[in-house]
Amino acid sequence: ERKAALATSSGPGATSDGHKVPLLANVGGPADVSAAVEAGAEGVGLFRTEFLFLDDSQKAPSEEKQVEAYRKVLEAFPEGRVVVRVLDAGADKPLDFLTPADEPNPALGVRGLRTLLDHPEVLRTQLTALAKAAEGLPVYLEVMAPMVADRTDAKAFADACREAGLRAKFGAMVEIPSAALRARSILQEVEFLSLGTNDLAQYTFAADRQVGAVSRLQDPWQPALLDLVALSAEAAKAEGKSCGVCGEAASDPLLACVLTGLGVTSLSMGAASIPYVRATLAKYTLAQCERAAAAARAADTAHEARLAAQAVLSGE
């Protein structure tokens, strides 16, 4: 049955009653693009740009090198959407020349956008390179910042984008509970939200994503995490803006239906998951997804949330 579903899985992501949910790919660089295109990704929902910074532990890559890499990814999706995340250094992605070595809690220290605001030249070069890479291409470029905590962060990022002359939509990742709680305030500064559920789970449950002993709390079915997703999606809807998910949560086909029911407007995942998510989403109406989402949120544990969603979707 799974095979049959996959064989018929193609085209844009949508529920059975035609509610569109673009299915996008998470990529780490040009090497991942062909798999994304083959899986029928409607664009890139998370381009993790860290890979470019791994070659040299002493300095950032040159603007030219960055332009070349960004252009390769942008060219693969003519007329499509490409969401580029600016450098997310620190914590689980440390870089020698940027990440403070002496922090007691790196995940709570200078990482993500905080690093870039401390090193504005690194951000400026990256934004300028993105502007140049997109020049003359029909692609629909969106640029987002990791680890946005509040409106001040969102404004600082949007200002930097404008100063670099970037003609793109600017967005904020929701990875910190404060950002979900005050999503409407953040949306006064940026045009879209993207939920990074891996970090959002880490910070909601005070459970380090790199520590196996607390992995129970990293489960994206945790009802508290679903509540924060719902808050963010509702805020975006109220502001007439979009709110995608680009964390691991989006790659679980059943959870993808629940996220859709919570009001998430696009799902980005590793290319290999796209056909499964597409086939599953196509089996249910938006109303069914909404009922599954409500049932999952009413549960007390991640396990019960999954069972409750499954029961709704299988018509029990």
Catalog residues that contact ligand PEP under the rule CB under 6 A: 46, 48, 88, 175, 196-199, 246-247
* 61 is a site residue for Mg ion (CB under 5 A): no
Contacted by 310, from Mg ion, ligand PEP, none: CB < 5 to 8 Å by type: none
Tell me, by CB under 5 A, how many residues bind Mg ion: 3
Nearer to ligand PEP, 198 or 285 (CB): 198
In whole angstroms, give the CA distance from residue 28 to residue 50: 8
Strand pairing report for 242-245 and 140-145: unpaired
Closest CA to 243 of 268, 276, 274: 268
For the CB of residue 148, give the shortest distance to ligand PEP in the complex, in Å: 12
- The Cα-based distances of 256 to 170, 221, 244, 248, 299 in angstroms read 24, 11, 11, 10, 17
CB of 228 to ligand PEP, least distance (A): 12
Nearer to Mg ion (CB atom), residue 139 or residue 267 = 267
- Nearer Cβ to ligand PEP, position 109 or 307? 109
Question: Considering beta carbons, is residue 199 or 219 the nearer one to ligand PEP?
Answer: 199
Find out whether 229 and 197 touch, Cβ atoms under 8 Å. yes
* Residue 245 C-beta: closest distance to ligand PEP, Å: 8
Question: Which lies closer to Mg ion via its Cβ, residue 42 or residue 175?
Answer: 175
Residue 128 CA to its chain's centroid (Å): 22
CB of 2 to ligand PEP, least distance (A): 26
Q: Which does 197 bind (CB under 5 to 8 A by kind): ligand PEP, Mg ion, none?
A: ligand PEP
How many other CB atoms sit within 10 Å of the CB of residue 98?
20
- Interatomic CA distance for residues 104 and 207, integer angstroms: 15
Considering the complex, what minimum distance in angstroms separates the CB of residue 88 from Mg ion?
6
- The structure tokens listed for 97 are 């020349």
DSSP for 55-97, written as a single string: S-SSSPPPHHHHHHHHHHHHHTSTTSEEEEEP---BTTB--TT
- Exposed e or buried b for every residue in 186-221, given b needs 16+ CB within 10 A? bbebbbbbbbbbbbbbbbbbebbbeeeeeeebbbbb
Task: Tell me whether residue 259 or residue 279 sits nearer to ligand PEP (CB atom).
Answer: 259
Residues 142-181 that bind Mg ion (CB under 5 A): 175
196 makes contact with Mg ion (CB under 5 A): yes
Interaction of residue 199 with Mg ion, rule CB under 5 A:
yes
Beta bridge partners of 190: none
Which among Mg ion, ligand PEP, none contacts residue 247 (Cβ within 5 to 8 A by kind)? ligand PEP
Residue 5 C-beta: closest distance to ligand PEP, Å = 26
CB 316 → ligand PEP: shortest distance, Å?
31
Write down the residue that tokens 């890979």 correspond to.
51
**Helix, coil or strand: residue 25:** strand
Q: Which is nearer to ligand PEP, 262 or 308 (CB)?
A: 262
Binding site for Mg ion (CB under 5 A): 175, 196, 199
